């Protein structure tokens, strides 16, 4: 939920909880000395000024923030209520505190005198605790989302700038390795071979980082629409056939008779299946097999990528979709990997309303299952 919705729910919930005529949620400013009304419920509260009020000028808020609910039975004779909104005789004010840190106050108002008692104060305080926790959690999520967005933007710019010098360096080194600039000693060839492999890794890292940032980028949403699933899976299998044959692996596609349409983009679906099939081929030793199955099940589209490869240790499974994570048995192989492929796959699958699951046993193989809602024509 957005912060505004959370605050408005809190104001409404508070009004119901103590049967108040009106309620207001006030939040402390960053300086911790001023309160600003963030949400109200009940028409009369509209009269309340919305500019920040100094806590030092508001005895009721001061009491509530100090951990003591403040009950005013009749504002006309209670000097603490001098700044309270006009027509309300009864006022109840409790603090919004999370983990010992005050974040604001919750006010309940009623027109009649003596409407709130200690029991109401306890009710409102319990709701305020829950409210403070929710507000704090929502603020934390918003802060993380903002950070994630700036991280994505930084990655997009930085990797974009890195890509062309890497490509240039790579083609120059390939020229040297290919003997186009003259003969090399065995030792020189070995060093240049290693530089070339490092550049290959850098290139895949830059491409994966760009894909990851793109997968999370909201700008892409406009290009999304109903997309053919079978075609994307077929393309990915075809793409890896030569590599599988070269490695001595069997690669098989078990297609689906139904034409399955899912939400997404061709590019996005290609990324999902090329990543999964590339992993299956990469992590399956010679003599093994990779089977890709497309089916419709319970009205949903399902793609399975199964291999008879090295498998994934049980301890690694919960981390598999984290950015940069690579399982120890994969790292031990002489295969290039960035640990970003599955993070890209998961972000895209979820973006298109689907989910991804994995089952695996070390030494026996892995099974990745992607399920999408079917888009009806």
- State the residues that interact with ligand ADP by CB under 6 A: 275, 279-280, 283, 307, 309-312, 320, 325-327, 330, 337-343, 366
Nearer to ligand ADP, 23 or 366 (CB): 366
CB of 252 to ligand ADP, least distance (A): 15
Residue carrying structure tokens 């990797």: 159
Q: Is the CB of 71 or the CB of 281 nearer to ligand ADP? A: 281
Residue 156 beta carbon to ligand ADP: minimum distance, rounded to whole angstroms: 19
Give the shortest CB-179-to-ligand ADP separation in angstroms.
Answer: 31
DSSP string, 137-171: HHHHHHHHHHHHHHHHHHHHHHHHHHHHHHHHHHH
Residues 6+ apart with CB under 8 A from 95: 64, 65, 66, 67, 69, 102, 104, 105, 106, 125, 128
Complex with ligand ADP: residue 105 or 279, whichever CB lies closer: 279
SS3 of 90, please? strand
Q: What are phi and psi of 49, to 5 degrees?
A: -65, 145
Question: 26 or 327, CB closer to ligand ADP?
Answer: 327
Shortest Å distance, C-beta 123 to ligand ADP:
50
Kindly state the smallest distance separating residue 363's Cβ from ligand ADP, in Å. 11
- Comparison of 101 and 332: residue with beta carbon closer to ligand ADP: 332
Q: Is the Cβ of residue 279 or residue 371 nearer to ligand ADP in the bound state?
A: 279
Reduce the DSSP state of residue 296 to 3 states and report it. Answer: strand
| Shortest distance, position 238 Cβ to ligand ADP, whole Å | 19
Q: What are phi and psi of 343, to 5 degrees?
A: -65, -40
Listed in sequence order, the DSSP H helices in the chain are 3-17, 59-65, 118-177, 186-215, 229-247, 266-282, 328-331, 341-351
Using the CB atoms, write b or e for 282-310: b if 16+ within 10 Å.
bbbeeebbbbbbbeeeeeebbbbbbbbbb
């Amino acid at each position: 939920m957005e912060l505004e919705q959370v605050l408005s729910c809190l104001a409404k919930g508070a009004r119901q909880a103590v049967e108040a005529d009106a309620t207001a949620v006030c939040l402390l400013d960053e300086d911790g000395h001023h309160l600003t009304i963030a949400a109200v419920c009940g028409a009369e509260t509209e009269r309340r000024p919305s500019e920040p009020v100094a806590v030092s000028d508001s005895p009721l808020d001061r009491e509530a923030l100090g951990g003591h609910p403040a009950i005013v039975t009749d504002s006309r004779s209670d000097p603490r209520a001098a700044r309270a909104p006009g027509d309300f005789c009864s006022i109840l004010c409790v603090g919004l505190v999370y983990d010992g840190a005050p974040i604001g106050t919750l006010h309940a108002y009623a027109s009649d005198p003596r409407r709130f008692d200690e029991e109401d104060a306890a009710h409102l305080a319990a709701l305020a605790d829950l409210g403070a926790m929710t507000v704090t959690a929502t603020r934390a999520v918003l802060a993380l989302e903002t950070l994630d967005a700036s991280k994505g933007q930084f990655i997009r710019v930085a990797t974009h700038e890195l890509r062309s010098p890497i490509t240039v360096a790579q083609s120059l080194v390939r020229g040297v390795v290919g003997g186009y600039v003259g003969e090399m000693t065995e030792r020189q060839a070995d060093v240049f071979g290693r530089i070339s492999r490092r550049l290959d890794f850098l290139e895949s890292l830059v491409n994966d980082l760009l894909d990851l940032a793109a997968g999370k980028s909201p700008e892409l949403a406009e290009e999304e629409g109903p997309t053919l699933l079978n075609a994307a899976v077929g393309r990915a299998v075809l793409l890896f056939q030569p590599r599988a044959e070269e490695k001595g692996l069997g690669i098989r596609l078990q297609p689906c008779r139904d034409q399955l349409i899912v939400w997404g983009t061709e590019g996005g679906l290609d990324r999902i299946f090329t990543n999964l099939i590339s992993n299956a081929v990469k992590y399956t030793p010679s003599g093994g097999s990779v089977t890709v199955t497309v089916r419709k099940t319970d009205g949903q589209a399902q793609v399975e990528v199964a291999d008879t490869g090295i498998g994934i240790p049980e301890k690694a499974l919960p981390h598999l979709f984290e950015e940069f994570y690579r399982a120890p048995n994969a790292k031990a192989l002489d295969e290039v990997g960035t640990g970003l492929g599955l993070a890209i796959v998961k972000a895209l699958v979820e973006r298109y309303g689907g989910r991804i699951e994995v089952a695996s046993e070390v030494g026996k193989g892995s099974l990745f299952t992607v399920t999408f809602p079917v888009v009806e024509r």
